[in-house]
Every structure is written in structure tokens, then in C-alpha cells.
Amino acid sequence: MPTEKQKMIAGELYRAGDPALVQERAASQALQQRYNATTVSDVEDRTAILDQWIGSRGTGCALRSPFYADYGYNIHLGRDVFFNYGCVLLDVCPIHIGDMTQVGPYVQILTADHPRDAKTRDTGLEFGRPITIGRNVWIGGGALILPGVSIGEDAVIGAGAVVTRSVAAGATVAGNPARPLVSPASSA
């Protein structure tokens, strides 16, 4: 029988109130609090905290505090990934972010979801869907990346966009819901 954690990571219905998951969120919050009390010059402390908190990360990653995550261990960052201030990653399922991706301030990357069916939702069950963001993506400030979305390499997500569907490599999207932008040259 799979554990609630195994079901959560697999994207199946699970109970977030499971004592083991509650304990893991509390441990993540303790690391989060320590990390968010540091400054950019606290390199050794930040590195030690991130080594305990984040699932994996390449060299040269920079996460400006405050930075928020549910668990941390489901976050996998490539080389030279940058997060600006105030980002939120709800990582009940894996989040993979490719090399050299830059994330603006107050971006939210949310794998956590809830059943649409009222009866199932009333049981307290939740689920999630993984998010994958490719290499060299730029995500503008305040954007929301919703559960199950994939963003192809070299894409641009406009500030404040609500990304409800996957984005093709090289595409630029903006708005709510986010839609591809048409360049003035192509509309003539």
C-alpha cells in the first residue's frame, strides 16, 4: 500500500493532513525561515540550508529571499537558475527547472491542486501535477504557473501571466489566461 507521500508525489489523491507530511512541511518551514533570515552575503549559510532543503540544484543558482516552498525536496533546479524576491513553489509534485532560467519577483509555481468534484473535495483529498520548465526561460514578475504545465526552452512568460496550459519552446505568452503574443509584423 503506497504511503500518502508516495501518492502525493505520483499525482494521485492523497491526504495532506497525514502526520508524516505535516512533519515534513514543518521541517521545510524551519529551513525556509532560516534561509529567509539570511542575506546574499551569507553564502556558506545559504548553501548549507539549500543543500538540506532543495531536492537538487546545479551550480550558480541564486534564490533571493524570501523564498517559499511546501516541501523543497521536489524542487530540481538546473545550472545558473535565478529566482527573484518573494517566489512561491508549492511542490507537492516534482518541479523541474532547466539551466539558465530566470524567474521574476513574486512568481508562483503551483503543482498543488484540488478535485473539481465537490464530493471528492469534501473528503479532504488533494492531488498535484508536476511542472517542467525548460532551459533559458524567462518568467516575468507576478506570473502564475498552474499544475501540470510544461514550458519549453527559450520561452518567455509575460509579467502577471496566468499560465493554464503548456507553452511551446520559443513562444512568448502573456495575459490571463496566458496566450501566445502575435508580433505586429506577423499580423500585417
Cα–Cα distance between 32 and 24 in angstroms, integer? 12
Looking at 114, 121, 165, 175, which residue is catalytic? 114
Side-chain-facing half-sphere of 172: CA atoms under 13 Å: 6
**Catalytic residue at 76?**
no
Cα–Cα distance between 116 and 40 in angstroms, integer? 41
Q: Which three cell numbers stand for residue 109?
A: 509555481
Instruction: Please state, in angstroms and as integers, the Cα–Cα distance from residue 7 to each residue in 15, 21, 69, 95, 128, following that order.
Output: 9, 11, 19, 16, 10
Cα–Cα distance between 88 and 168 in angstroms, integer? 23
Active site residues: 114
